[in-house]
Amino acid sequence: MSKLRFTISMSLDGYVAGPNQSLENPLGEGGEQMHDWVVKLKFFREMHGDSGGGETGIDDDVLRESFDNISATIMGRNMFGGGPGDWGDRSWKGWWGDDPPYHHQVFVLTHHTREPLDMDGGTTFFFVTDGIESALRQANDAAGSKDVWLAGGARAAQQYLAAGLVDEMELHVVPLLLGGGERLLDNLDSNVKLEPIRALEGRGVTHLKYRVIKT
Amino acid sequence: MSKLRFTISMSLDGYVAGPNQSLENPLGEGGEQMHDWVVKLKFFREMHGDSGGGETGIDDDVLRESFDNISATIMGRNMFGGGPGDWGDRSWKGWWGDDPPYHHQVFVLTHHTREPLDMDGGTTFFFVTDGIESALRQANDAAGSKDVWLAGGARAAQQYLAAGLVDEMELHVVPLLLGGGERLLDNLDSNVKLEPIRALEGRGVTHLKYRVIKT
């Protein structure tokens, strides 16, 4: 049975993007600092085609584990990018260049239809307009016996958490106060039941992993 | 040099009190669940005069350490209780009965003057009307070479954090979404610089300790 595994970097005050998000600055002011811990890691570099160098250690192990056994991805429209509304001339192909680091099928939640987009390296983006459950069914089919990664952003995660569809949630908590922006754990309540799996202290980031209890 | 050490229990969505706080329900709806981890501990029972029983282990160690070397306390008016406004007939003497678990001088931030209140067991409440820096000076004097505990609530903590007066912050993160109430890390921004000291996984609670960097 495939699991839906959600992992994301979050500031200590609960934001996954800083204030004043824009097309030029999709992570908002200060938001890029939330990923400082990840871009220097060996596994991150490997994912982006650079096999030499990068830091190893606990953070690299955690990042590596979070993608282990993952064979499909779901993300919200904002995370794919290209602005709101219809897809226009289709020139927007995501933030990740010609060879995105997924190398599997990626399901983008959107209200606007678009034909699937084949990229280099085995990544295909599918644009799902009939809701989160449909996207999860399609991702589960694509993943086979492996798991599905819920990549974010906040609103997609809130919808899947509220619907009781997430199995595991890992928050990479960065010791930073952003003071505004997009808060991950908003619009949710005590109906979402969590059980801690572990807490790991990395280099300037704390990894908190939870099981989401199905009620 | 005395340190100002802030510790508090917080839900994973960042609340230190639940929604709909009232005089009858000062922790708000669901808020009391944030203290489930603590009331069963051996050290908590000892603090409240019950020397027999209680759980030991990592949570007990953390709680014990968080009060080690503490010799004075600061808290906001809401934490002392008795409702807003002037002190009326002085019949309100806090939530803790005749023998509060502090056993040292406690400085309550308020806009309303009141004479000091001597309780059993060595606790005296002082009511400080001239601001957070004055309360800290008085608490430092009372603590001598030992440290001062900042007990909360959210607004008192925000003021001390914003003023750069906190040395250490320990959040006991409970795997619970309250969905509303009083959020701890609000009204703050990236001027508050934090450095992780440690993350410890207890029984149903995660202890995150930070050094607050003075800039």
Distance from the A183 Cα atom to the nearest Cα atom in chain B, whole angstroms: 9
Closest CA to B196 of A3, A97, A59, A40: A59
Closest CA to B111 of B135, B91, B92, B93: B135
For residue A186, list chain B residues with Cβ-Cβ distance below 8 A. 13
pLDDT attached to residue A47: 86
Instruction: Please give the mean pLDDT across all residues of chain B.
Output: 95
Using a CB–CB cutoff of 8 Å, tell me whether B186 touches chain A. yes
Residues 6+ apart with CB under 8 A from B10: B16, B34, B171, B172, B173, B174, B184
Over its length of 215 residues, how does chain A's per-residue pLDDT go in tens digits?
Answer: 799 999 999 999 999 999 998 878 888 999 999 999 999 999 999 988 888 899 999 999 999 999 999 999 999 999 999 888 999 999 999 999 999 999 999 999 999 999 999 999 999 999 999 999 999 999 999 999 999 999 999 999 999 999 999 999 999 999 999 999 999 999 999 999 999 999 999 999 999 999 999 87
Record the tokens describing residue B25, joined without a space. Answer: 């329900």
Record the tokens describing residue B202, joined without a space. Answer: 């207890």
For residue A201, list chain B residues with Cβ-Cβ distance below 8 A. 196, 198-199
Question: Tokens 């809701």 correspond to what residue?
Answer: A131
Nearest-CB residue to A190 (from B30, B199, B206): B30
pLDDT attached to residue A44: 93
Cβ count within 10 A of residue A166: 23
| End-to-end CA separation in angstroms for chain B | 18
DSSP character for B212? E
pLDDT attached to residue A49: 81
Which domains does chain A carry? 4-16+29-84+100-213 (3.40.430.10)
Give the pLDDT band of residue B47 (cuts 50, 70, 90).
Answer: confident
Give the pLDDT band of residue B48 (cuts 50, 70, 90).
Answer: confident
For residue A179, list chain B residues with Cβ-Cβ distance below 8 A. 188-190
Contact call for residues A142 and A72 (beta carbons, < 8 A) = yes
How many beta-carbon contacts under 8 Å exist across A and B?
80
Compute the distance between CA of residue A11 and CA of residue A17 in angstroms, rounded to an integer.
9
Taking phi first (over 0 means left), then psi (-120 to 50 degrees means alpha), and beta for anything else, what does residue A68 get? beta
Residue B4 has φ and ψ, to the nearest 5°, of -100, 115
Chain B's closest residue to A181, CA to CA, is B189
Using a CB–CB cutoff of 8 Å, tell me whether B79 touches chain A. no
pLDDT attached to residue A76: 96
Amino acid at A147: D
Compute the distance between CA of residue A43 and CA of residue B193 in angstroms, rounded to an integer.
28
Compute the distance between CA of residue B149 and CA of residue A161 in angstroms, rounded to an integer.
36
pLDDT attached to residue A89: 94
Cross-chain Cβ contact B199/A208 below 8 Å: yes
Contact call for residues A55 and A43 (beta carbons, < 8 A) = no
Compute the distance between CA of residue A103 and CA of residue A123 in angstroms, rounded to an integer.
4
Compute the distance between CA of residue B37 and CA of residue B204 in angstroms, rounded to an integer.
7
Is the pLDDT at B75 greater than 90? The verdict is: yes
pLDDT attached to residue A24: 80
Please give the share of chain B, as a percent, with pLDDT higher than 90.
90
Q: In A, residues 10-39, which contact B (CB 8 Å cutoff)?
A: 12-14, 30
Cross-chain Cβ contact B180/A189 below 8 Å: yes
Distance from the A132 Cα atom to the nearest Cα atom in chain B, whole angstroms: 22
Compute the distance between CA of residue A127 and CA of residue A118 in angstroms, rounded to an integer.
12
Cross-strand bridge partners of residue A74: A107, A150
Is the pLDDT at B215 greater than 80? The verdict is: no
Cross-chain Cβ contact B200/A199 below 8 Å: yes
Give the pairing type, strands B117-118 and B124-128. antiparallel
Q: Which of A133-147, B24-38, B100-114 has the lowest mean pLDDT?
A: B24-38
Is the pLDDT at B56 greater than 90? The verdict is: yes
pLDDT attached to residue B122: 96
Cross-chain Cβ contact B179/A190 below 8 Å: yes
pLDDT one-digit tens code per residue, B156-186:
999 999 999 999 999 999 999 999 999 999 9
